Amino acid sequence: MRRHLLRAALSVVLALAAAGCPRRVAPLAPAERFEDAPALLDAVRARSRQLDRLRLRGTVLARRKGQRVKARFSAVTALPARLRFETESFFDQPISILVTDGMEFSLWDMEGSRFFVGSATPANLARAIPVFLDGPEVVGLLRGEPPLIAYAESRLAPEPGGANYRVWLSNSREQESLLVDARDLRLLEVEVKVAGQRRYRLRLDWGDSPRLPREIAFEMPSEELELTLKIRAVEEASSLPDDAFRLTAPPGVLVENLGVSEP
């Protein structure tokens, strides 16, 4: 159970991470007013990609079915979809390492002495961590970019007072609701439902950071899962080593290939 929770904690970094400000920046100018959802979502995506390479450290807390696990993490991430996420206990004992380039992923479970590889699809990632997001969605979320359903219809309306936008997206099976700060275009909430039932909910707390979220909270009722990622330190990296996003199984460690499952 503890290993499962720690894998779950990887996601919301994997899963879920980036908050705090790598350097002091001036407050953003008031955003333009938006009349349709696609234009607003494009602007949110553009603002989330202003910082290319990041190093960060913090804590991740997982609660599931009455169990609670807390760990420290360190991570590096680079656009468009690369991530290395390492967890350790509060006694400096390594627990796991996850690496993804957005297409493939590798996960070394040190406690279980197992090594997972495969495509970074939601179906594959959910077998290691019960979060229905693919690799690029996870990396984007760390920067405040929302995961989006493949929507056929969209609607946008300002909240009372005009401080936030509410966005609704839908297709024949899924519905998504997003809350976006109208001034700085910061993502605040995401809720995705399937056939009327909540799949997951995300809440982002930006604190006093104009660029990156300071906390990401994830809820998945079907798994009785709650994850909270808190960023304690973050800096912009001018460069990263070539092997930062490569991970191979140590000798003697069992490798499980999850293949290319459909998303």
- Per residue in 164-216, pLDDT (tens digit) is 999 999 999 999 999 999 999 999 999 999 999 999 999 999 988 778 999 99
Residue spans of the domains in the chain: they are: 2-20+31-249
Fold for 2-20+31-249, please state it. Answer: outer membrane lipoprotein receptor (LolB), chain A (2.50.20)
* Contact between 18 and 212 (Cβ < 8 Å): yes
123 or 130, which is more confident? 123
User: Whole-angstrom Cα distance, residue 96 to residue 107?
Assistant: 7
Of 9-13, 143-147, 187-191, least confident by mean pLDDT is 9-13
- Structure confidence at residue 25 as a pLDDT band (50, 70, 90): very low
Q: What is the pLDDT of residue 14?
A: 45
Is the model's pTM score more than 0.85?
Answer: no
Confidence of residue 128 (pLDDT cuts 50, 70, 90): low
Give the integer Cα–Cα distance in Å for 201 and 226: 10
Q: How many residues does the chain have?
A: 263
- Note the pLDDT of residue 91: 86
pLDDT score at 260? 66
